[in-house]
Chain A
């Protein structure tokens, strides 16, 4: 273990959630149209950054943000610097395009290994684009450390372990985890800070490290489309029309029917 606490935060640039309903698919080329849709830091990644910065403020240490994405994702690295991280790294390489969660987790793990030892890797629990929530546990697997997803609260922290609460349906679980570990957070964990005007101006005077796959020893055949076990073979826009199914029957039948529909909607 290193002398001072080393915290890494994985961040991603995503389409602004305010504009998600404007995303459409070109029915001919089957590409996703996102023109005019602003890109922002994935909202939960800001909670991840905030938690890392709070721990640093409390216990000291160093916070490094890593983003994997196209060159424009430099913006989220700047955002992280403006919030107060010590260093920001942009992992950007054409061969990474099309990586699924497994390939992404592998690439991120190689970047993290290149940084040396760490105590905590914070991630947002999921991103607004894919919403798979798969990268944090898969990243932990590549790093051979434990993971906890859906963390809503850190109850205690010391150099060796964290005690946290994670949300589950209708309740929560309390866990103790030995460090180093990957922690994926939910929005309940904190309210992310806004950067100050000075911090914004200063973050543009700082350097962002730019890494390609060759800088971190990634096998190019293990990332991108080629390195991803999953394939997207088709995309389409969902039917938005209302189903307009009408039920008529006894009260008890109606109640059963409503409960069935609530369950189908993922509520109970």
Chain B
């Protein structure tokens, strides 16, 4: 067993780290203040190829894979979790096509998605159903070669940034009969609704998607009609949850570095507080969380790259990384004392960002259900 990145992955990591350090970090304050990620930063993500990292090469992506993706997201999240989250949803928007699109559909959309000419959202959640997907009410009624879709999606990341939307809708009498569509943003009746104000991940756009009698041709159906739930869940599990987890891992590493830096600098009782056991315990907890979450992340990503079903493993890392991020940010805040709640320190932002991450791509209660399912399956 080799616990080592390949040379390619190392260079990808170094490049993403340098991008984060030089181009992202100096703009975090601006992003926090304006609650907007500057357009040129989004453009850079595509220029550097981070946008097309899981798109196959024949569709102008780089097919670097899911482990490479996790590494890059961790690096960007270290500087700006909101930008990492925006990028991870860019990938999520591409995922239904990558996993379930036909050759024609891939040819039609993937090259533009890789280049950033198109950005797709992935709209599943509704006020009446997210964790309980069966509760969604958006309905797609078939009329000849078209569907007419009406409904209201909420908490959709990148919805105001996207110009094409992946949408899960009910499409039959059976509550399980659902279909997944790609819906171009310029179709009559498609309109992003209100923009939400989150306590954290400022700059990462979240909002409503309103679909009012939108006519969509059958060519826009991804996967099999009536089997859309699988399309949505494959994407959310392998890409959405993994992206949330990678963002969390980046937050934890930042907490670790900030904690060590502060503990070495801050002098109390005539010595740096890093000499105090109370502080050492907090720091070792953060370090342990980082290593645990990172190893789980890499293992799950490796499984996805190998084509091994990894639902439970993804659930484990999503849970560990998001709860870990919140816990570590809180511990960092403890180490910093009053500085922990001052705006000029990253600690308070990391805490808000970490909490904003927890409910994304399925609550951790849902993750526990997914994990327990495998626990029971493996019993003999």
Interfacial residues, chain A to chain B (CB-CB below 8 A): 40, 75, 78-79, 82, 194-201, 203-204
Find out whether the CB atom of A204 lies under 8 angstroms from the CB atom of B47. no
Render B1-17 as a binary contact track against A, CB cut-off 8 A, 1 for contact: 00000011001101100
Q: Is B64 located at the chain interface by the 8 A CB criterion? A: yes
CB pair A194 B8 closer than 8 Å: no
Q: Is residue B58 contacting chain A, with contact meaning CB distance below 8 A?
A: no
Residues of B contacting A40 in the complex (Cβ-Cβ under 8 angstroms):
14
| Across-interface contacts of A200 in B (CB, < 8 A) | 8, 11-12, 15
Q: Could you say which residues of chain A place their CB within 8 Å of the CB of B47?
A: 196
Q: How far is the CA of A195 from the CA of B8 in the complex (A)?
A: 12
| B339 beta carbon closer than 8 Å to chain A | no
Known: A79-B11, A204-B7, A204-B8. A197 touches B53 (CB 8 A): yes
Say how far B73's CB is from chain A's closest CB, in angstroms: 13
Tell me which residues across on chain B come within 8 A of A79, comparing CB atoms: 11
Q: Specify which chain A residues have a CB less than 8 angstroms from the CB of B56 in the assembled complex.
A: none
CA distance A197 to B9 in the complex (A): 10
Could you give, for residues 32-57 of chain B, a 1 whenever the CB lies within 8 Å of some chain A CB and a 0 otherwise?
00000000000000011110110001
Summarize A's interface: helix, strand, loop or mixed: helix
Mark contacts of B67-82 with chain A using CB atoms, 8 A cut-off: 1 yes-contact digit, 0 otherwise. 0100000000000000
In the assembled complex, which residues on chain A have CB atoms less than 8 Å from the CB atom of B7? 75, 78, 204
In the complex the two chains form, is B19's CB within 8 Å of A197's CB? Answer: no
What chain A residues lie within 8 Å of B11 (beta carbons)? 75, 78-79, 82, 195, 200, 203
> B62 interface residue, CB < 8 Å from A?
yes
25 A–B pairs (Cβ distance < 8 Å), ordered by A: A40-B14, A78-B7, A78-B11, A79-B11, A194-B15, A194-B18, A195-B11, A196-B47, A196-B48, A197-B12, A197-B48, A197-B50, A197-B52, A197-B64, A198-B49, A198-B57, A198-B62, A200-B11, A200-B12, A200-B15, A201-B8, A201-B62, A201-B64, A203-B11, A204-B8
B112 to chain A minimum Cβ distance, whole angstroms, is 16
Q: Which residue of B lies closest to A18 (CB)?
A: B21
Closest chain B CB from A128 CB (angstroms)? 16
Query: From residue A47, how far is it (CB to closest CB) to chain B in Å?
Result: 14
Interface of B is mostly: helix
Complex formed: what's the CA distance from A198 to B52 in Å? 9
Q: Which A residue sits closest to B44, measured CB to CB? A: A194
B65, closest chain A residue (CB): A201
A77 to B325 alpha-carbon distance, docked (Å): 37
Q: Which residues of B contact A196 (CB under 8 A)?
A: 47-49, 62
Nearest B residue to A41, CB-CB:
B14
CB distance from B93 to the nearest CB of A (A): 18
Q: What residues on A are CB-neighbors of B68 within 8 Å? A: 197
CA of A204 to CA of B6 in the docked complex: distance in angstroms?
11
Q: For the complex, what is the distance from the CA of A197 to the CA of B47, rounded to whole Å? A: 9
Contacts of B8 in A (CB 8 A): 200-201, 204
List of A residues within 8 angstroms of B19 by Cβ: 194
- Taken together as a complex, chains A and B put the C-alpha atoms of A196 and B19 apart, in Å, by 11
Nearest-neighbour CB distance to chain B for A72, whole angstroms, equals 11
Distance in angstroms from A187 CB to nearest chain B CB is 13
Whether the pair A195, B64 counts as a contact (CB closer than 8 A) is no
- Identity of the chain B residue whose Cβ is nearest the Cβ of A200 in the assembled complex: B11
| Chain B residues within 8 Å of A195, by CB | 11, 15
A224 CB to nearest chain B CB (Å): 28
Interface residues of B in 160-176 (CB under 8 A from A): none
The 3 A-B residue pairs with the shortest CB-CB distance in the complex, in nearest-first order = A197-B49, A196-B49, A197-B62
**From residue B347, how far is it (CB to closest CB) to chain A in Å?**
22
Minimal beta-carbon separation of A117 from chain B (angstroms): 32
B51's closest neighbor in chain A, by CB?
A197
Task: Quote the shortest CB–CB distance from B153 to chain A (angstroms).
Answer: 31
Query: Across the interface, which residues of A come within 8 angstroms of B48, CB to CB?
Result: 194, 196-197
Q: Whole-angstrom distance from the CB of B64 to the nearest CB of chain A?
A: 5
The residue in chain A whose Cβ has the minimal distance to the Cβ of B10 is: A75
Q: Report Cα–Cα, A78/B11, bound state, in Å.
A: 9
The CA-CA distance from A154 to B43 in the complex, in Å, is 29
Which residues of A have CB within 8 Å of B12? 197, 200
With A194-B48, A200-B12 given, can you name 12 additional A-B contacts, CB distance below 8 Å?
Answer: A78-B7, A78-B11, A79-B11, A82-B11, A196-B62, A197-B52, A197-B62, A198-B57, A199-B49, A200-B8, A201-B8, A201-B62
